[in-house]
Amino acid sequence: VTVASPAYLDRRGTPAVPADLAGHELIMSTAVRSVAEWRFRADGREHVVRYSPRLRMNDTEAMLAAARDGFGIARALSYQVEPDLRAGVLRRLLVDYEPEPAPVHLVMPSSRHMAPRLRAFVDFAVREFAALDVIR
C-alpha cells in the first residue's frame, strides 16, 4: 500500500492518480527491490511510476519512520503499516490503483512429523493473520 503522514499531505496535497506522484517526495525501500519504480493497477491496466527517490533506505522500519515524520510518500506491505493506519499516523493513498494482494504461505512438512514448536508457531501465525483483518 502507498502511505504518507497527514502532515505531509497537508503540506503537499494528496495524489489522486499514480502520475501525480511525479510532483511528490518519495521514499524508497531497497530492502525488497532496488529498482526505483512502483507498479499500480486499474481497469485491468498496469501503471508504472519511475522516480528518483528523496530518500533511499535499506530498512523498512526506517522508511516508515521517515514517512511518519512527514518526509514523503512510501510503499510497504499492508501488515507493515496496519498499526499506523489504525492510529491515524499514516494515511493510505491511491487505493483504487493498488496491485492485487500477495498471498502469504506457510510451507512445512507433513503434520504427522511436525515438531511441537513448529505446530505452535503455525497455530500462532494462522491466528495472527486471521485477526489482522488486513486492509483491502
Mean pLDDT for the stretch of residues 45-61? 87
Average pLDDT, the chain: 87
Whether the pLDDT of residue 7 is over 90: the answer is yes
| Number of other residues whose CB lies within 10 A of the CB of residue 79 | 14
pLDDT band, residue 133 (cuts 50/70/90): low
In sequence order, the 6+-apart residues with CB closer than 8 A to the CB of 30 are 56, 57, 58
What does the pLDDT look like over 28-50, one tens digit per residue?
A: 988 766 678 888 998 888 888 88
Report which of residues 133 and 21 the model is more confident about.
21
Q: Are residues 63 and 124 located together in one domain of the fold?
A: no
Q: Are residues 30 and 84 located together in one domain of the fold?
A: yes
Sign of CA pseudo-dihedral 13, 59, 89, 100: positive
C-alpha cell belonging to residue 96: 483504487
Q: Are residues 68 and 88 located together in one domain of the fold?
A: yes
Report which of residues 89 and 130 the model is more confident about.
89
Which domain CATH number covers 42?
3.40.190.290
pLDDT band, residue 130 (cuts 50/70/90): confident
Whether the pLDDT of residue 6 is over 50: the answer is yes
Q: Are residues 113 and 79 located together in one domain of the fold?
A: no
Of 21-25, 49-53, 80-84, the least confident? 49-53
What does the pLDDT look like over 88-100, one tens digit per residue?
A: 999 999 999 998 7
Whether the pLDDT of residue 136 is over 60: the answer is no
Which residues constitute the domain of residue 85? 2-97
List of long-range contacts for 128-134, beta carbons under 8 Å, 24+ apart = 129/104, 132/79, 132/82, 134/78, 134/79, 134/82, 134/101
State how many domains the chain has. 2
Q: Are residues 77 and 109 located together in one domain of the fold?
A: no
CA atoms within 13 A on the CB side of 47: 16
Whether the pLDDT of residue 16 is over 80: the answer is yes
